[in-house]
Amino acid sequence: MAILVLSRPLPAQPFVEALRAIAGDTPVWTEGDDFDPRRVEALLAWRLKPGILPRYPGLRVLCSTGAGVDKLMVGDLPAATPVTRVVDPLQAVQIAQYVVACTLRFTRELPRYEAQQASAQWLRHPVRSPEACRIGVLGLGAVGQAIARAFAPLGFEVAGWARRPRELPGVQVFAGREQLGALLSRSDILVNALPLTPDTRALLGRHTLGALPRGAFVVNVGRGEHVVEPDLRTLLDDGHLAGAALDVFEREPPAPDNWVWTHPKVLATPHIAAQAAFQTVAEQCLDALRRARAGLPQPHAVDRQAGY
């Protein structure tokens, strides 16, 4: 019995090597290998095409190569097959670093000073006051909490939004759809760290982004599908939003003629906020397989109902 790695668009080799180093007798295969699909017990994947799961009738567990599992939730996923996600504290910290970097670049006006430097201009501008830099984090899972924690020592006022109320030291928590408007209206910097589910798809459109204070900045490290890209563009163009840092897109990579590449208010990066460490992914996948074989609970199981 074996593990099959289907990590596209990421190269499979680093996952395969990390798994082979610890998997003992369990073979580790990937696309292009000559293998018997009936022997696949665990699939380690980033996305699945509908219709491929019946090829693996011995499947015991489906493991994500990342923290998000939205591209694995295909309709023909057997109800009894556990799905697991990666929980990598280092990945959460790296995403927080990315968010802080993009936010400070905006609040400390680094692009403006870079432009001034290009023409040897010595011009000093007032620093944005902390009251105009209120952070709002959508999603308070492991990643959202790491982001909220990273901002606190920098003197920012931090709030977050979650499905259910919770206590987080130093973070004002808003919960449920009924409190989303309150979170938005006080967020000068909106950070999206939500999982993608049917409930959160296209959440960030004309009405929600329009409810941010004028001059707000948006950082998206969730999924591209959370944002209605044409609405974001309209709000950037009409001046309601001052800018956006986008690490994720509806289509990755965006088409060469997509507006995000050239919009003066957009920082676009190629989904690099953070990748879970290959070794952690491999260890958690192997652990999930051992647990599935022994009928034990999965610590990183996805709640199939909630979708994350």
The minimum distance between CB 271 and ligand GLV, in angstroms, equals 6
Closest CA to 246 of 206, 233, 203: 233
48 or 154: CB nearest ligand GLV: 48
- Catalytic, 177? Answer no
* Residue of closest CB approach to ligand GLV: 66
68 binds ligand GLV (CB under 6 A): yes
The minimum distance between CB 68 and ligand GLV, in angstroms, equals 3
Per-residue contact flags (x/-) with ligand GLV for residues 247 to 276, judged by CB under 6 A: -----------------------------x
Angle at 82 (CA atoms; ends 76, 88), nearest 5 degrees: 120
174 or 278: CB nearest ligand GLV: 278
68 or 144: CB nearest ligand GLV: 68
Q: How many CB atoms lie within 10 A of CB 142?
A: 18
66 binds ligand GLV (CB under 6 A): yes
194 or 216: CB nearest ligand GLV: 194
Q: How far lies 140's CA from each of 162, 167, 230, 256, in Å?
A: 6, 11, 26, 33
Q: How many CB atoms lie within 10 A of CB 230?
A: 11
Judge contact between 3 and 19, C-beta under 8 A.
yes
Q: Kindly state the tokens that stand for 228.
A: 């209605």
The minimum distance between CB 174 and ligand GLV, in angstroms, equals 24
Q: How many CB atoms lie within 10 A of CB 257?
A: 7
| Total number of residues that touch ligand GLV (CB under 6 A) | 4
Angle at 155 (CA atoms; ends 150, 156), nearest 5 degrees: 70
Contact range with ligand GLV by CB under 6 A, out of 53-61, 62-70, 116-124, 260-268: 62-70
Cβ partners under 8 Å of residue 142, min gap 6:
67, 87, 89, 92
In terms of phi and psi (left: phi > 0; alpha: psi -120 to 50; beta: otherwise), the region of 170 is left
- Catalytic, 300? Answer no
Residue 161's φ and ψ, nearest 5 degrees, are -130, 130
The minimum distance between CB 66 and ligand GLV, in angstroms, equals 2
Catalytic residue among 60, 85, 134, 223: 223
44 binds ligand GLV (CB under 6 A): no
Q: Which residues bind ligand GLV (CB under 6 A)?
A: 66-68, 276
Catalytic sites, residue numbers: 223, 271
